[in-house]
A and B are shown apart, each in its own frame.
Chain A
């Protein structure tokens, strides 16, 4: 995965067709963000894992259609996550079509994985993150959870790097205030 550290999200998705591990790096970069997306919406750890699995399976199935100059990858991924959640709510069961299309088996979660997901959901800072204004939250999530650089976030949020820095800075200050208050 270290090989891919310097590649952008768009480059990782483009490389997936020839290098399977590139998608592993993409997953590693955004796993927390997607898991947290579902946890924040009330999913339990195992449900969040299933929804995350379907989200990344759908992303893998559509990776070849992702265009570098178009919507940012993180926004694209959140869009898929929103669809997966909506479809799952409509069906009353976790959507699994993308996973089945890829021939992926359901992931059998270990105790360690469940604990790690629960930790993500219960971390106070992340709970506080949910109370930030959407623009700040998105910037902080991309910077802290997805470990993206300011230029990449600016590109994905379609704003200047300066604006991203301000949003991240204000968001983190707000988080500190909330955490100290709690």
Chain B
């Protein structure tokens, strides 16, 4: 452990960025070789990533009691999962992947994280340790795909280059992971982000995943091109802060916390947050970029972020998965503050940050 872990982390990221142009060139020149190597990593080879990756203990699934029953949260059905799409990490380590499975209600469930030996998991770059994620907990069910479906999830992850040593990762330290499923009428996807414009591959199952370093969702736009020539774009444009209607709707948003008391938070649990956002007179819906952060003892722990689409009323509960380190830090904090950034659709997209204090019992 260093005295300034934040500096060590910044330096590793900077070193990764310096190495990145050479890697991009290599991919351009030897695309098929790169694809084959990525497949090796996904399928079981460890050598493609350079030095060996260690396997830590798998993370235990969330308690079954957190699902179904009174919580009305659908859990994925074991044995139905597969890695539907992959994308390389822009800095280092195993690629990212989209895991798709079937929920017990027949809906699809999705989750995105690092992929190693065909399994989804978290990766600590400082110790080169991979820990497999369980199916029940991190993945979100309730996704239904129609021919013209174009929906996406965006997650800010600090696990990526991820050092659990970093107590308060900033946006710049994180990856933006954009993933989701599209219907059969979507012909192709294109994206514009900090690294320029490009295509996002769609797997035969309709899955996609793209990873951006040092980005937030408003930095990236993803466009679906439909077979009939129409397009639909998500992400991007700054919010008009001078429009009082938009601000008023943000102020009306409601947050319900349905997680365990702080004293009982541990890495096996999934925190669930529901966001309520009433439709305005024109029937527009909210779109929420929700970041869960915890403040306490002078520390900030950023736990994760979801992009969601909310109708009138409350959203489905969002799942925030904690690492053991984050859970340990939270237990030291008597108070949490949820940082909720709500943005509007279709006006989109620079979020307004609104802190909602959540006092939890010990």
Contacts and interface: CB of A to CB of B under 8 A. Distances in A.
Contacts of A60: 11, 14-15, 18
Interface residues of B, number: 34
Contacts of B172: 105
Contact of B3 (A1, A16, A32): A32
A108 B16 CA distance: 20
A19 B5 contact: no
A56 interface: yes
B105 interface: no
B298 interface: yes
Contact of A27 (B2, B91, B299): B2
Contacts of A112: 167
Nearest to A32: B3
Interface residues of A, number: 37
B11 A109 contact: no
- Chain A interface, >50% SS class: helix
A36 to B, nearest CB: 10
Nearest to B15: A20
Contacts, number: 107
A166 to B, nearest CB: 30
B7 A17 contact: no
A19 B11 contact: no
A52 B19 contact: no
B17 A24 contact: no
A113 B15 contact: no
A87 interface: no
A117 B4 contact: yes
Contact of B14 (A28, A103, A110): A103
Interface string B86-110: 0000011000000000000000000
22 contacts: A1-B126, A3-B128, A17-B19, A18-B19, A19-B92, A20-B15, A20-B125, A21-B126, A23-B11, A24-B9, A27-B11, A31-B8, A52-B7, A56-B7, A57-B14, A60-B15, A103-B17, A104-B11, A109-B6, A110-B167, A111-B298, A113-B6
